[in-house]
Structure 1
Amino acid sequence: MNTHGMNILAGARPATRLPAQDLDRARRFYREQLGLEPVDERPGGLLYRCGGVYFALFQSAGASPGTFTQMGWEVDDIEAAVSELRRRGVVFEEVDLPGLRTRNGIAEIDGNYPSKGARGERGAWFRDSEGNMLGIGEPVT
């Protein structure tokens, strides 16, 4: 069996792409609510960099369903992050599902990836101006 190329993506850099029906509105949201500025742009697209990783917003006629987390950030202090984002006008989702309930916008989540050395995570979710569901999480050690 030829295994050449089987791990072709193992060394590749993942790149998140988020749809935006209105790129100007999205740019304002990411600047004013999240404090992010694009590091590059092209017609129909904005490129952002956070923590050495890139993500892009692209002009799209389609709308995000916003029913699942499309991108997230790992933070050191979720309480401070939620507080600051709220101050900037971000509205956090309140979730009340079996096994997942937020209190003041933050959920306690059991379990985490063993390689990350945490026993759980605290998470919070919000939608951007385009309906994309974004999350922030803090590992619990």
Structure 2
Amino acid sequence: MLSERTPIATLPTADVARARTFYENALGLTPQEEAPNGIMYRCGAGKLFLYQSEFAGTNKATAVTFMVSDEEFDGEVDALRAKGVNFQTFDYEGMQWKDDVMVSDGMRAVWFSDPDGNILNVGTGAM
């Protein structure tokens, strides 16, 4: 059954080399496997596949979430900031923001975009 399978996040990119620089340098991912027009990264128990596509950046919602413990959150956010990642804020009922970090009901999260505009998220708490 699919409920017992680990999904692979699949993200389009207009420029595989540019995306590779971001995912490896800013996020610290290591390539697991390469295809002619894409790269597979292992992320914990899951995977993230970047592939060449003319539709890169057309999704305007969160595409990938990286869940971390509350204890790890500040370190992850600091590391992203140190790599030049800019966080996004937006209006959504029940969300409060402090220094571009969403704080709500015991959860904390940040959102940011990759070079193609794919929206990524790092968060704590149950989803």
Give the secondary-structure state (helix, strand or coil) at the position aligned to 1:139.
Answer: coil
What RMSD, in angstroms, separates the aligned Cα atoms of the two structures?
1.6
Q: Name 1:80's counterpart in structure 2.
A: 75
Output the CA distance in 1 between the equivalents of 2:8 and 2:110: 22
CA distance in 1, matches of 2:2, 2:67: 23
What is the aligned-residue identity percentage? 36
CA distance in 2, matches of 1:27, 1:47: 10
What is the number of equivalent residue pairs in this alignment?
124
1:97-140 deviation per Cα after TM superposition (whole angstroms, max 9, x unaligned): 33223211211133xxxxxxxxx421111001111100001228
For structure 1, the residue ranges without an aligned partner over 5 or more in a row are 1-7, 111-119
Structure 2 Cα separation of the partners of residues 66 and 79 of structure 1: 27
Q: Which residue of 2 aligns with 1:59?
A: 52
Aligned pair 1:38/2:31, yes or no? yes
- For 1:63 and 1:48, the matched residues in 2 are separated by 18
Q: Distance in 2 between matches of 1:83 and 1:99?
A: 24
In structure 2, do the counterparts of structure 1 residues 66 and 93 end up closer, same or farther at CA, with 3 Å as the change threshold? farther
Conserved in 1, the CA contact under 8 Å of 2:6 and 2:45?
A: no
User: What is the letter of the counterpart of residue 64 of structure 1?
Assistant: G
Gaps of 5+ in 2: none
Which residue does the alignment assign to 2:98? 103
CA distance in 2 between counterparts of 1:10 and 1:138 reads 22
| Partner of residue 92, structure 1 | 87
Structure 1 or 2: larger helix share?
Answer: 2
Q: Does the residue aligned with 1:39 lie in a helix, a strand or coil?
A: strand
Report whether the alignment pairs 1:128 with 2:123: no
How far apart are 1:66 and its partner, in Å? 4.7
TM-score (norm 1): 0.80
Q: Greater RCO between the two (CA within 8 Å, min separation 6)? A: 2
